[in-house]
Chain A
Amino acid sequence: MSSPDHAVVSTGRLAQSPHNVFQRLGIDGPLTIFGGPIYWSLFALILIAVVLFPLYGSTFAALNFTNFLINAPVALGLALLWGYCGVLSFGQVAFFGIAGYAYGVMAINWGLGLGTLLAAAGALGLTSLVAAAFGYFLFYGRVSSWIIPVLTLVLTLVLETFLGQTAGLEWRIGQAQLGGFNGMTNIPSLTLGSLTFNGYSLPLFYLVVALIAVILIGLRVLANSHFGHVVMAIQEDAERTELLGYDIRRYQLVVFTIAGFLAGLSGVLYATWGNFIQPSSVGLLAATLPVLWVAIGGRRSLSSVLIGTIALSALSDALAVYSGDLAFVVMGALLLFGMMAAPDGIVITILRSLAKLLVRRPL
Chain B
Amino acid sequence: MSDTPRRGADAPEIPNQDSSLAVDSPRRTSIAGTRRQFLAGAAAVGAAGAIGFPAIHVKAATTGQVKFGLLEDQSGNFALFGLPKLHATQLAIKEINDGFTLLSGPTGPGGTGKDGAYTELVDVLVQSNDKGILGREVKLISPDPQSDPRMYQQLTKRLGLQDEVDVIMGAFASANREAMRPVIDQMKKMYWYNNQYEGGVADKYTFCTGAVAEQQIIPAMQYCIAKFGKRIYIPAADYNFGQLSAMWTRAMAPLLGGEVVGQEFIPLSVTDFTSTIARIEQAKPDWLMMYITGQNHANFYPQANAAGLKRPMGSSINLAQGYEHKRFAPPALAGMNVAVSYMEEIPTPRNQAFVKRFRAMFPDEPYIQQEAHSAYVATHLYAVACRLAKTTDQNAVMEALESGIGIEAPAGWMFMDPATHHMSQHIRMASCDEKHNITFVQEWPSIEPWWTRRLGVNLVRTPEFKQYTPADDPAFKKFL
Chain A directly contacts chain B within the complex, with at least one CB pair under 8 Å: yes
Q: Which residues in chain A, 310-347, are within 8 Å of chain B measured between CB atoms?
A: 317, 320-325, 327-328
Q: Give chain A nearest CB distance to B165 CB in angstroms.
A: 13
B273 contacts chain A at the CB level, 8 A cutoff: no
Are B25 and A58 in contact, CB atoms less than 8 angstroms apart? yes
**With A181-B240, A321-B158 as contacts: A56 and B267 at CB distance below 8 Å:** no
> Most chain-B Cβ atoms within 10 A of its Cβ — which of A161, A180, A182, A198?
A182
Are B49 and A203 in contact, CB atoms less than 8 angstroms apart? yes
Q: Which residues in chain A, 264-321, are within 8 Å of chain B measured between CB atoms?
A: 270, 274-276, 278, 280-281, 317, 320-321
A75 contacts chain B at the CB level, 8 A cutoff: no
Are A182 and B145 in contact, CB atoms less than 8 angstroms apart? no
Q: Which residues in chain B, 152-183, are within 8 Å of chain A measured between CB atoms?
A: 153-155, 157-158, 161-162, 173-175, 178-179, 181-183
> Most chain-B Cβ atoms within 10 A of its Cβ — which of A55, A194, A195?
A55
What total of chain B residues lie within 8 Å of the partner, measured CB to CB?
A: 66
Are B239 and A320 in contact, CB atoms less than 8 angstroms apart? no
Complexed CA–CA distance, A11 and B55 (Å): 57
A241 contacts chain B at the CB level, 8 A cutoff: no
Q: Give chain A nearest CB distance to B270 CB in angstroms.
A: 10
Contacts of B75 in A (CB 8 A): 324-325, 327-328
Contact partner, A56, options B28, B143, B146, B175, Cβ 8 Å: B28
Complexed CA–CA distance, A220 and B25 (Å): 37
B16 contacts chain A at the CB level, 8 A cutoff: yes
Contacts of B181 in A (CB 8 A): 185
A61 contacts chain B at the CB level, 8 A cutoff: yes
Among A24-32, A118-126, A163-171, which stretch is in contact with chain B? A163-171
Q: Give chain A nearest CB distance to B250 CB in angstroms.
A: 13
B1 contacts chain A at the CB level, 8 A cutoff: no
Contacts of A206 in B (CB 8 A): 49
B452 contacts chain A at the CB level, 8 A cutoff: no
A135 contacts chain B at the CB level, 8 A cutoff: no
**With A56-B31, A58-B28, A274-B179 as contacts: A167 and B240 at CB distance below 8 Å:** yes
Are A280 and B175 in contact, CB atoms less than 8 angstroms apart? yes
Contacts of A320 in B (CB 8 A): 143-146, 151, 155
Q: Which residues in chain B, 181-222, are within 8 Å of chain A measured between CB atoms?
A: 181-183, 186-187
B50 contacts chain A at the CB level, 8 A cutoff: yes
B268 contacts chain A at the CB level, 8 A cutoff: yes
Contacts of A196 in B (CB 8 A): 52
Complexed CA–CA distance, A319 and B476 (Å): 46
A263 contacts chain B at the CB level, 8 A cutoff: no
Complexed CA–CA distance, A194 and B146 (Å): 36
**With A55-B41, A56-B37 as contacts: A67 and B154 at CB distance below 8 Å:** yes
A23 contacts chain B at the CB level, 8 A cutoff: no
A183 contacts chain B at the CB level, 8 A cutoff: yes
Contacts of A64 in B (CB 8 A): 154, 157-158, 162
Complexed CA–CA distance, A55 and B22 (Å): 20
B461 contacts chain A at the CB level, 8 A cutoff: no
Are B268 and A164 in contact, CB atoms less than 8 angstroms apart? yes
B440 contacts chain A at the CB level, 8 A cutoff: no
Complexed CA–CA distance, A321 and B71 (Å): 10
Residues of A within 8 A of B (CB): 51-52, 54-61, 63-64, 67, 161, 164-165, 167-169, 179-183, 185-186, 194-196, 198-203, 205-206, 270, 274-276, 278, 280-281, 317, 320-325, 327-328
Given A161-B269, A274-B153, A281-B149, 15 additional A-B pairs, CB 8 A: A52-B45, A64-B158, A164-B238, A167-B240, A169-B471, A182-B175, A183-B178, A185-B181, A199-B183, A202-B52, A206-B49, A276-B182, A317-B151, A320-B143, A321-B158
16 contacts between A and B (CB under 8 A): A55-B45, A55-B48, A58-B28, A59-B56, A60-B157, A60-B161, A169-B469, A180-B243, A182-B174, A183-B149, A185-B179, A201-B53, A276-B149, A276-B153, A320-B145, A325-B75
Residues of B within 8 A of A (CB): 16-17, 19, 22, 25, 27-29, 31, 34, 37-38, 41-42, 44-45, 48-50, 52-56, 74-75, 79, 142-146, 148-151, 153-155, 157-158, 161-162, 173-175, 178-179, 181-183, 186-187, 238-240, 242-244, 265, 267-269, 466, 469, 471
